[in-house]
Amino acid sequence: MPVLPGAEPFRHEGGEIGVLLCHGFTGCPQSLRPWAEFLAERGLTVSLPLLPGHGTRWQDLQLTGWQDWYAEVDREFRALSERCERVFVFGLSMGGALALRLAARHGDAVSGVVVVNPANKVHGLAAHALPVVRYLVRSTKGLADDIAKDTGTHELGYDRVPLHAAHSLRRFFQRVDSELPQVTQPLLLLRSPQDHVVPPADSARVLSRVSSTDVTETLLERSYHVATLDHDAERIFQDSYEFIGRLAPGAGAGTVAGEETKETANGG
């Protein structure tokens, strides 16, 4: 199945500091592309993969599970680690959970974590029915496009959520939640008080369970869930870059100005 225009993965060969960005459930790299380009323009090595089952049609997501999504970011992280001296992991929504699990499992190999509106739980009474309902109903209404901007900004995501994948997502969140105490790296968490997809309780849960001592929480007052495409996007980009600079002084130094960005498409 061909990848939707705009949903392609993004990679840029920069300096010795690497950043892995993880997109959210039913979304695609498009939601993080401006963030990735901002970092690439500042000389960082950047990887923004397309998760299996995403960026094509929702029926393809139905055939995948959390093990597939995590395996993809784990492969990208290992590749960045071979190429770079230090690697940071960033994520939006479910991508935040992926980033936190990378931090929990890879320890000191992860230099820092930045998460935006990180998801920690599938909420609502329906969540408990997923093990059974997923065999009776294939999909439900989509989650994409929770953006405060009214200027035509659009998130490229599925308009349906396959319930088999939602059930796997629920199990993944439970696993990540149990691993949060293993997260010790510096953490920057940015969240939108007005988020119609992930409630504030998820960020609070993450902050209460990680073992990190270097923790910063920032409120994105003007944005909804997909804050990386919203009014506070530039703040996210700048704050995350300064976070890297504080922990890895000289990040991006020594790269050639105007170096051409390299893009690769996922053919699967």
Catalytic residue status for 93: yes
Query: 57: buried, middle or exposed (CB in 10 Å: 19+, 13-18, 0-12)?
Result: middle
C-alpha pair distances (Å), 92 with each of 29, 188, 195: 10, 12, 13
E strand residue ranges, 72-210: 86-92, 110-116, 139-141, 160-162, 187-191
The residue from 47, 93, 203, 240 that is catalytic is 93
| Separation between Cα atoms, residue 104 and residue 180, nearest integer Å | 7
242-251 as b/e, with b when 16 or more CB fall inside 10 Å? ebbeebbeeb
Determine which helix (DSSP H) or strand (DSSP E) holds 218, and give its type and residue range. Answer: strand 215-219
| Separation between Cα atoms, residue 112 and residue 99, nearest integer Å | 10
| 3-state secondary structure (DSSP) of residue 164 | helix
Determine which helix (DSSP H) or strand (DSSP E) holds 172, and give its type and residue range. Answer: helix 163-179
The residue from 145, 146, 195, 230 that is catalytic is 195
| 3-state secondary structure (DSSP) of residue 266 | coil
Task: Give, in degrees to the nearest 5, the angle at Cα 186 between 184 and 189.
Answer: 110
The residue from 23, 225, 230, 232 that is catalytic is 225
In DSSP terms, which residues pair with 50 in a beta bridge?
A: none
Catalytic residue status for 195: yes
Neighbours of 228 (CB within 10 A): 30
Catalytic residue status for 139: no
Residues acting as catalytic residues:
93, 195, 225
